[in-house]
Amino acid sequence: METRKVQRLGPSTLAMTLPAKWAQEHHVEKGDEVSLRMGGKGTLTVLPESVQSEESEATIHADGLNANALERAILSQYVLGRRIIHVESAPDETLPSSHINAVYNAETQLMGLGVVEETPDRIAIRCSVDPEDFTLDNLLKRLESTGATMRNEGVKSLAHGNPDLAQRALNRERQANKIFVLLLRLIFTSYQNPNLARAVGLDDGFPLIAYRSAAKNLELTADDAEDIAEIAMETDGHSLNIDSSTMRRIREFTDEVDEMAELAIDAIVERDYDLACDVRERFAAVEDREQDILSDLDELPNDELLRVREVLVSLQQTAQYAVRNAEIASNLALNEESEHVTIE
C-alpha cells in the first residue's frame, strides 16, 4: 500500500498527488477529470474517465472449443460485463453449424443479448442491458418471486393432477436463470466499476459478495421448485397417491416455506436484523415437518413414498436456503448502526 501526504491549497482545499504509474496506465494527464466516490469506512475511490466510459469487448476464438464450451464461454463473458462479444473461427475457416447454434442458444438464455453482425467466420453479440434500468434489490425480489411461483405451481399440479401447471413451472425456469445470470453480471461490473454500484442501488461495494451468495441460494430454490414440477410431470396421473389431509399438510408446509423465503429477502433488502431472526424462528418450527408428514405414511408403497419424500426434501431445502439468506441479512444489518448495534 502506498501513502500520500495531504497538502493544503488555499484556505479550505486539501490535495494530494496521484501515483505516476497509475496515471500512466489509465492515461490520466494534466487537465483531465476524474470521479471521486466516497464509500463506507472512510474509503475514497478515484475513477479515471476511461474506466467510466469504456465499452468492454472480448473475442472468443471458437476453433479450439466444442459447442458446449463455446456456449459457456459466451455466458462467462456476459457475466464479466462485456458489452460486445465476438466469436471468431480460425483464419481462413468458417464457423461450423454447431458453433452458430451455440451462439444463438446462448442468446436465448441471457437477458438483453442479441446478435448484431454475422459473417461466415465471425459473429458479434451485443448486450443492451443498461445497469440503471435495474437494482440488485428488485432483481433479488424478482428471482425469489419467480421461484415461489414455480414452487406453488408444482405443488398445485400434484394436488389437482394438472400437468399444465407443472409445465408452466418448468417453463419459468429459463426466466429464473436469466434473472440469476443478470444479477451476476451487475454484481461483477459493480465490483469492477464502483460508479455502477450506485446505479444498481448500493452506496458502496460491501454488500456485493452478500448479494452474490443470496442470488445463488435463490437460484438453488428455483432448482428445487423445478424438481417438484418434474415429479408432477413424471408421476402417473400427475398427482401424489395420498389422502386429502396429507396433501393439505404439504400445501401448508409450502405456504410456510414461501413466507420464510420472502421474509429472508426482505431482511436483506431492508437490512433488518429482526426479520432475519424471525426467519430462524420460523425454520425451527418447521425443521421436522418432513419427518412428521412421512411418519404418518408407513403403509404407502415404497415408490410412492419416495415421490412424497422427494417433494418434502425440496421444500425442506428451500427452507434451509431461506435461513442462509437470513444469515446474510444479519451480516448486512449488523454492519450498520441500529437499535441493536453501535459502531465505534
pLDDT digits (tens, 9 = 90+) for 76-105: 999 999 999 999 999 999 999 999 999 999
Residue listed under C-alpha cell 433488518: 272
pLDDT of residue 50: 61
- Tell me, what's the pLDDT at 245? 93
More confident site: 257 or 191: 257
What pLDDT does residue 20 have?
Answer: 86
> What is the per-residue pLDDT for 336?
80
Average pLDDT over residues 2-15: 84
Percent of the chain surpassing pLDDT 90: 66
More confident residue, 90 or 25: 90
End-to-end CA separation in angstroms for the chain: 25
pLDDT at 313: 96
The mean pLDDT value for 2-23 works out to 85
Does 195 score more than 80 pLDDT?
no
What number is the average pLDDT over the span 38-46? 71
Domains of the chain: 7-53 (2.10.260), 57-127 (3.30.110), 133-333 (1.20.58.220)
Mean pLDDT of 283-287: 93
What per-residue confidence (pLDDT) applies to 193?
73
Range name among 36-45, 188-197, 239-248 with the lowest pLDDT average: 36-45
Whether 158 and 235 have beta carbons less than 8 Å apart is answered as yes
CB 65 within 8 A of CB 73: yes
The CB-based long-range contact list for 241-245 (8 Å cut-off, 24+ gap) reads 241/300, 241/301, 241/304, 242/297, 242/300, 242/304, 242/308
Is the Cβ–Cβ distance between 192 and 54 less than 8 Å? no
Q: How confident is the model at residue 204 (pLDDT cuts 50, 70, 90)?
A: low
pLDDT above 60 for 53 = no
At 292-311, the pLDDT tens digits run 999 888 788 888 899 999 99
Task: Quote the mean pLDDT of the chain.
Answer: 90
Query: Which residue did the predictor score with more confidence, 27 or 272?
Result: 272
What's the pLDDT score for residue 205? 64
pLDDT at 1: 74
